[in-house]
Structure 1
Amino acid sequence: MMALSPNLAYLESEAIHIIRDGFAEAKRPVVLFSGGKDSTVLAHLVLRAFYPAPPPIPLLHVDSTWEFREVVEFRDRFARNHGFDLVVKANEEGRRQNINPFEHGDTYTTMMRTDPLKAALTDGGYDVIFGGARRDEEASRAKERIASVRNANHGWEPRNQRPELWRSYNWRLGKGQSIRAYPISNWTEHDLWTYIRMREIELAPLYFAADRPVVVRDGLRLVVDDDARMQWRDGETPTMEKVRFRTLGCWPVTGADPSDADHIDAVMYETLTSGMSERRGRVSDSGSLERQKRDGYF
């Protein structure tokens, strides 16, 4: 394992400080875990924050019911190998109604992601919720505080956020309030990938190029993760292409990139020389992420 650069060592120290600080003030903390690279790095920082003790904070995964199978397998393996308690929440009524990303758009995001997240947080009584969002990902996330206050309905109001000076975070909560805490807020995508390499962190296999069944739809390469649930258009036939993902979401609405990068150094080179946003392949980002966040989304 390589030594961290001064910048990465500082970011790691800052993140661990935030995790320990929030944990000390929390009654019921939880870590949001999607199985993506950001939440995986966050979970590793939790491990480092409390080593050699087992992790004292559970992982919470909101299962949209349209997750990549490799992500679900990685999620379960990661929690088991590192001693995390894992809580999985899904909207079973939405599953019965076959609410899906092909037909239901924003309704799908609300019913299958936002609503079960809010229900899981309420049912679990979680007051400090650690997430892996970074400010450089998207404009509305750049407005977030590291300790971001949510109202009793888990909604976000940017104008009600508190000042944060000199790494001092305000964890006090009013009635019904909770805090979404973002320990890697100040990290860039470059920082994240460099840290993953230096700390030898295992990621979900979808970040690495492999032959996968693909259809090209509306300019995006969609990997057909479950052909029985795929809603085919006339004339569509999947073809095998070597592709990988730069960001992970629900498989029917997340585009893959053609790539030969099947190991960490090649992925880093390809990612860090790209001039495109890492979230450009997220169809679900085509609407207002800020509006979704105000309603209680991640």
Structure 2
Amino acid sequence: MGIMMDQRKRLSMIAMCMWIYMMFAACFFFMLQHYNAHAADINDIIFKGADYHYKGALDEAIASFQEAARLDPNNEFVHNQLGLLYAKKERNDDAFREFSTVVKIDRRNIFALLWIGILYLKQSNMDRAFETFHEITVIDPNNADAYYFIGSIYNFRRNPVKAIEYLKKARDADSDEADTHYRLGRAFHNVDMINNAYLEYNKAVELKPTYTKAINEIGWIYYNQGNYDAAISEWEKTLSINPKDEDAISNLARAYNEIAFLALSNENTAHAVAYWNKTLSIMPNNKAAQYYLKQYQK
């Protein structure tokens, strides 16, 4: 009798356990379905926000990502997207808040840290920007962006040796970034390492043929070496890319006038007049060219 009672108790316990298991399984299934539906809802909202962002509808994109952040407050991607959108809208305080939220969730989120550094730069807070970019290099020793910004800060602080050191690191980490080569070229140029500067400018143009800033600097290297024809060729190349490039126009006007003065000093008035006319063709209000044409043009 006792054995039967024990058996019934065991069966009852097993039945109870089975019932509890089934209830747990049912609850788990319900929760899983709810979670999947919840996740699907968030993914739909994120996709919609990304689509708005792609189409340039920034306000609608912000609204979508704000809703996603409300549903999933710890979603790093969502907060990063909000930060990026706010930055595009020049809502820098809001952008800073979103990127800071990401860093609170994950201190090693490089995208958020990079943008925090950039926002510090916009505030002219060079010290905090430097610290942030340096923190990125500790997390990721091959981060070209962080090295680039550190090099740029050193360049701003007129420390060309350090600027070159870090811009070289940026170049070595990402040798396909034209702007890094240009910045490194400028750093070399500032300390009169002309050959190095020339190589970096050329690399920038090789990577990005429309990089007019680099083309203009190559022109200056030729000009300062006395190779006016090569300099003019570079600046005219810039104008073929951007006819309104003020640097190229100013540089060409200076070169044309210089050639005109040299021609005049060699008593070649016709050649001088031709170049003053060239100056006026690109800079109609150039006073020097106007003055000398009145004196020498027949």
- Fold in common (TM above 0.5): no
**Greater relative contact order structure (CA < 8 Å, 6+ sep):** 1
| Larger strand fraction of residues | 1
Whichever of the two has the greater Rg, that structure is 2
TM-score, normalised with respect to structure 2: 0.20
TM-score, normalised with respect to structure 1: 0.20
